[in-house]
Structure 1
Amino acid sequence: MNNQQTQFGYQDGHNLIDLTEANQDDNNEDGTEDQAMNKLLDVEEDDEGAFGKMDDVFGSKDSNSDLLLHISDSSRNFSSGSTGSSEMCIKENPNSPISSASSYNFPSPSGSSLHSANVKLDSIRPGFFTSEARLGAVPQLPYTKLEYIAPTDYTSIREKIGDVQAAVIPYYSHYSQRSSPSSTYRENLSHGKRPHFYKKLSRPRRHAPSSSSDEESPCDDSDGYYIIRRGSNFANGRFRIRKLLGQGTFGKVVKAYDKKSHAVVAIKIIKSISKYRSAARIELRVLAMLKKHDPKNIYQCIHLRECFDYRGHICIVTDMLGQSLFDFMENNKCLPFPGSHIQAFAKQILRSVAFMHDLNLIHTDLKPENILLQNDSFVRRPFCPPSVATKAISRKVLKDPKIFTIDFGAAIFDDESHARVVSTRHYRAPEIIMDTGWSFPCDIWSVGCILVELATGDTLFKTHNNVQHLAMMERVVGEPIDLSLVRDCIYNFYTANGQRRGYHSHDEECIADAFSKSTGRLRFPIVSTSKKIMNEVDQLSCIEDIIGDSVGFRFSRRMSLSDSLKHFNIPRAKQQEYTFWFWFVDLIRKMLIFDPERRITAVEALDHEWFNYGILDDGLLSLNSEIAN
């Protein structure tokens, strides 16, 4: 590797702050397995993962500073403003021979991204799982004991990064030796900025043109998408495209091999249309801020490797990850994940969300498609659904439940202009549907919906109709929508004398009309409601029954844990498992509270009682077998 390292930085005044993280190629694992263990576990792996769907949102811009591509020999010395430490503390198993101290620190390896959420799997001894020092404690996955360290200085951590400049890569064709100098280079010279930051851009090599014709014009289709050809070169031959991973309104995501870093990466190629290019710049601001305050990626939000502008397309390069939770579940016959994995996912997602919220960022589009596995390899285990009296079937169980949150194309700073409608329908919070104003709590509602889906294998709210959606929410939550929320909704649409407010006068649908003006209750069903819509609502149960049917227990919102154990006659051998799911239901209840002001926050959720309890299942055993290998 060349001593000079291309770095991604953020320029503020005369200082260039290094945001570069040494890239770690996780795609070169040998994948070998012990033959005896293979026969025992019937190991099977998916060939390739998927990057997931992404959407875009447009908002205001802030130009405090610029992000530049530059050459530097300096080493990375940027410290996180939100963690305060590069070490992670895991509570010790009392039976482990590692230490007699109350905790064990896993230091972060310098110059490389952390594996398994700050815990190297090969550094954990077989059988070492975290657990509370209490009688009969059930072990837990290491991810469940990851901690979140809140920032002490919110003023500095919320200071925004300005517009991100995507370095323009000149296009070389067969018929021209080089393109004209980069406009970005000219602009920065005119502003007196040091040209050595653009060393690679201002002195392109004469022999750079590719000998192949796969990058020749035209490169766009009629809709502004870059035309993807498998095996073709990209960005003047630096990348070789391996496959198309996904396509959305914003553009396309491809899997590619980076000939410079010898890593397999994901490239989001934005449409060559002005509004999508503007949206990409907003996303780059968010990605740059996440990386600035978490350079070692402790909080597992997708990291920006670099960005560039090529033939009118802004390109965002990130690490190549595995399948999304949605794809893995879909390829697993929509069977639920093991409880231990759901708990590990929950802790990791909540840490990511807490970190974003402390940066004053709202993701707004959390869903299983936007949660990606680092490694989607799995083993097969027998599974017998509690609600079905049939013989056991086979389900895939992940070897490693490490995840990353992706797709910040819809993320917004809380103090910037909010769109009226955000979030994918099934994960949309009630305050968004009712148009009463939304903020950080809308992300928590989405997380609650995700966790229920992971536990049941089924989407919680399957609807595309606002009134039906609210009726479904009332069925699941088990109580009517808060009157305070209804009052805000009606006031938002109508004046005191019953006149429609001007800014809502042309709305095709007025959600306030779905509520009784006298009682404040949701008017559902009404005469025009179809039988199909009514049946879909009637088939839904309360959250206690939905989760209970999936895990094979009964729960009541009116009973404490001790009363539930007695009332439902839970046998002693099942009481630890029941306790695990009891507290899971309790956390979901707190996430699905109608009033956003009373809904649990990400930091509060991280301290919930559920995370103190483990469960013995095949998710725990699959990681244990992986460590043993």
Structure 2
Amino acid sequence: MRRRSKRRHSPGGGGGGGGGWGEEEEEVKAKVLRPLRRSSSQGEEPEKTPPPPPPPPSSTRRYHHHKTYASPNHKTYGSEETPSPGSGVRRNHHHKTYERRAPISKRLEPGQHGGAAGPGGAEGRAGSIAEADRSLPRNNHKRENGFPDGATTTTTTNGDVSKHSQPPLGNAQTTTNSSAQPRSSHARSRRSSSRSRSTSSRGHGRKSGSCEDDDEGHMVYDTGLVLRERFEVVSSLGEGAFAKVVRCIDRHNGRDVALKIIKNIDRYREAARSEVEVLEEIRRLDDDDRFACVKMLEWFDHHGHVCIVFELLGLSTFDFLKHNDFLPFTVEQIRHMAFQVVKAVCFLHRNKLTHTDLKPENILFVCSDYQMEHNAKMRRDERTLRSLDVKVVDFGNAIFDHEHHTSVVSTRHYRAPEVILDLGWNQACDVWSMGCILMEFYLGLMMFQVHTRTHDSKEHLAMMERILGPIPPHLLNKTKKQHYVHAERLDWDENGSKGRYVRKNCKPLKHYMQSKSMEHEQLFDLIRSMMEYDVNRRITMEEALWHPFFTPLRKDTRK
């Protein structure tokens, strides 16, 4: 089966201008500097000359797009409590793009909502999965655009060192700093400086010192290569469009790690530094590893290649399906894996971060060891996992709510309809992707098997309608892709070759159910709630945590 190739979006950067001497100032400068040089050569004391007048102030004013920062002594407290299950709290903050960058809002410290301990909190730490769900860090303050907002913070990152200095996680109160920059400008300045450093480094296809790149910009390496006199390459784990992943031994502690080596190309290097920022923020917020997000151990630059060190995980859920002849997971296995992923993505959403690229390839088993068991009904041997612990990986396309949102995100087969129709997107696009993933776990195959050669978005929409019903007219009326629409309906020929392909390969959602048992009914109800066309009606990740499908896990934990 063909799989999807990753798409990577390179973040933009800004530049700054500088001042200069005018004509009069140049004359003054020449008169002043010539006697100084002559006097110095003769060993005489240079004459004291009045400094040249400063250049006239510019009449251009700089307007900041963010609100005034609070004073250093100002403190912010979380006042609202976590909404109860079924409270109907939804995020109606879909948008298209941001023309202005707002300051990064504070990712909450432990206990900020109602005093319960969040990640890293020392008191009241949840002792069960259900309690941990309630203690997810959140921020209930609202801005005018509908997004949650809070205090500003800065993350200290030094591009010349491999480790990130982690500030200690404090109590419920957070103090704003009037001198702190918003993340957007702070990140932009750091990205600009890193760009200036990277442009001086070599391009791909050339040698620099002991490092050599291939024609595509990948680093050429052999088994036994040691990076930074610490990480020894043992084997290759995989290769993507912009990076290779190798297995290494950390000589400092003998631990096996995964090392992601980014291509030595400017746009990929900039994207990698953005990923590092997100990973550092996740590490700071979840220092006790309660949420299923991959942990970055450190990062460094090796001759223009950004190298990110991760904990070593097992196979991806897609690779396990592939090695197991695409035999679907059982409902009970899906329940355990889905709960971990939903909880992890809910953690991201509460901290105003959208993953944007959820798919089975980006959900990895912590340990993919298995045992072979014979399935008498299917008359074949099957691989049975010994552990169902998973983690979400690949934050290269993750984006904070306040940052610019590109018009297209997600791998095609898991792309939400609002993205295809160019209606603007928000965190709800992750929920749609999660619904597609659950169906793929259940079926062993992709839900929307769009032709990979044509990449026809209209065909993708037609598949959605075949499985989920018609797209609401009010969404079709708002789309910029009016060539997809005719008479408030999708302009689609059901009798053409593509129409026949859709009818053959797709059927209504309920027809995919393999049993009418309660657990199957609950799973499909969750999937249908995640795949609502209208983002205002689509379930949120927080609401999904309290869906009846996950009730057995909460009951087992309480026992």
**What is the TM-score when the length of structure 1 is the normalising length?**
0.59
Residues 324 and 447 (structure 1 numbering): CA distance in 2 closer, same or farther, change over 3 Å?
same
SS for the counterpart of 1:593 is coil
1 CA distance for matches of 2:333 and 2:150?
31
What is the letter of the counterpart of residue 216 of structure 2? Answer: D
8 Å CA contact 2:110–2:137 kept in 1: the answer is no
Which residue of 2 is the match for residue 45 of structure 1? none
SS for the counterpart of 1:458 is coil
What is the letter of the counterpart of residue 378 of structure 1? Answer: Y
List aligned pairs for 1:103-252, cutoff 5 A.
Answer: 147-151=133-137, 153=139, 159=152, 161-162=154-155, 164-167=157-160, 217-235=210-228, 237-252=229-244
1 CA distance for matches of 2:375 and 2:340?
25
Deviation at 1:216, TM superposition (A): 5.7
2 CA distance for matches of 1:53 and 1:303?
24
Which residue of 2 is the match for residue 536 of structure 1? 502
Determine if the alignment matches structure 1 residue 486 to structure 2 residue 425. no
What is the letter of the counterpart of residue 222 of structure 1? Answer: D
Which of residues 58, 71, 74 in structure 1 aligns to 2:10?
58
Which residue of 2 is the match for residue 124 of structure 1? none
Determine if the alignment matches structure 1 residue 470 to structure 2 residue 461. yes
Determine if the alignment matches structure 1 residue 269 to structure 2 residue 302. no
2 CA distance for matches of 1:269 and 1:166?
16
Which of residues 489, 508, 513 in structure 2 aligns to 1:521?
489
2 CA distance for matches of 1:405 and 1:362?
12
Deviation at 1:391, TM superposition (A): 4.4
2 CA distance for matches of 1:423 and 1:158?
30
8 Å CA contact 1:57–1:410 kept in 2: the answer is yes
8 Å CA contact 2:494–2:500 kept in 1: the answer is no
2 CA distance for matches of 1:107 and 1:162?
25
Runs of 4+ in structure 1 deviating by more than 6 angstroms, as ranges, are: 61-64, 105-108, 143-146, 155-158
Aligned residues: 402
Which residue of 2 is the match for residue 286 of structure 1? 278
2 CA distance for matches of 1:513 and 1:249?
32
What is the letter of the counterpart of residue 214 of structure 2? Answer: D
CA offsets, 1:267-312, max 9 Å, x none? 1111111111111111111111111111112111111111111111
Residues 86 and 481 (structure 1 numbering): CA distance in 2 closer, same or farther, change over 3 Å?
closer
SS for the counterpart of 2:133 is coil
8 Å CA contact 1:380–1:395 kept in 2: the answer is yes
CA offsets, 1:45-71, max 9 Å, x none? xxxxxxx9865323357999xxxxxxx
Which residue of 2 is the match for residue 424 of structure 1? 411
Deviation at 1:544, TM superposition (A): 1.1
SS for the counterpart of 1:297 is coil
For structure 2, the residue ranges without an aligned partner over 5 or more in a row are 16-65, 67-107, 142-148, 163-206
8 Å CA contact 2:359–2:433 kept in 1: the answer is yes
2 CA distance for matches of 1:526 and 1:254?
47
Which of residues 435, 440, 448 in structure 2 aligns to 1:453?
440
Which residue of 2 is the match for residue 313 of structure 1? 305
8 Å CA contact 1:322–1:373 kept in 2: the answer is yes
Residues 152 and 441 (structure 1 numbering): CA distance in 2 closer, same or farther, change over 3 Å?
closer
Residues 267 and 161 (structure 1 numbering): CA distance in 2 closer, same or farther, change over 3 Å?
farther
Which residue of 1 is the match for residue 534 of structure 2? 595
List aligned pairs for 1:327-476, cutoff 5 A.
Answer: 327-383=319-375, 391-463=378-450, 464-476=455-467
After TM superposition, the structure 1 stretch with the greater mean CA deviation from structure 2, 305-314 or 598-607, is: 305-314
Residues 470 and 580 (structure 1 numbering): CA distance in 2 closer, same or farther, change over 3 Å?
same
2 CA distance for matches of 1:303 and 1:150?
18
Residues 368 and 81 (structure 1 numbering): CA distance in 2 closer, same or farther, change over 3 Å?
farther
Deviation at 1:218, TM superposition (A): 4.3
SS for the counterpart of 1:357 is helix
SS for the counterpart of 1:394 is strand
Which residue of 2 is the match for residue 496 of structure 1? none
2 CA distance for matches of 1:292 and 1:391?
47
What is the letter of the counterpart of residue 491 of structure 2? Answer: R
1 CA distance for matches of 2:362 and 2:5?
7
2 CA distance for matches of 1:270 and 1:447?
27
Deviation at 1:537, TM superposition (A): 3.7
Residues 159 and 601 (structure 1 numbering): CA distance in 2 closer, same or farther, change over 3 Å?
farther
2 CA distance for matches of 1:158 and 1:344?
35
1 CA distance for matches of 2:308 and 2:156?
15
Deviation at 1:590, TM superposition (A): 0.3
8 Å CA contact 2:110–2:120 kept in 1: the answer is no
Deviation at 1:475, TM superposition (A): 1.1
Deviation at 1:378, TM superposition (A): 1.3
Residues 251 and 539 (structure 1 numbering): CA distance in 2 closer, same or farther, change over 3 Å?
closer
Root-mean-square deviation (Å): 3.3
Determine if the alignment matches structure 1 residue 607 to structure 2 residue 546. yes
Q: Which has the larger radius of gyration?
A: 2
SS for the counterpart of 2:234 is strand
Residues 251 and 158 (structure 1 numbering): CA distance in 2 closer, same or farther, change over 3 Å?
farther
SS for the counterpart of 1:147 is helix
Which of residues 310, 314, 317 in structure 2 aligns to 1:322?
314
CA offsets, 1:470-510, max 9 Å, x none? 01001111x20011211110xxx3xxxxxxxxxxxxxxxxx
**What is the TM-score when the length of structure 2 is the normalising length?**
0.66
What is the letter of the counterpart of residue 295 of structure 1? Answer: D
List aligned pairs for 1:18-33, cutoff 5 A.
Answer: none
Determine if the alignment matches structure 1 residue 84 to structure 2 residue 104. no
What is the letter of the counterpart of residue 480 of structure 1? Answer: P
Deviation at 1:427, TM superposition (A): 0.5
Residues 603 and 424 (structure 1 numbering): CA distance in 2 closer, same or farther, change over 3 Å?
same
Residues 218 and 315 (structure 1 numbering): CA distance in 2 closer, same or farther, change over 3 Å?
closer
Deviation at 1:339, TM superposition (A): 1.4
1 CA distance for matches of 2:138 and 2:353?
17
What is the letter of the counterpart of residue 467 of structure 1? Answer: K
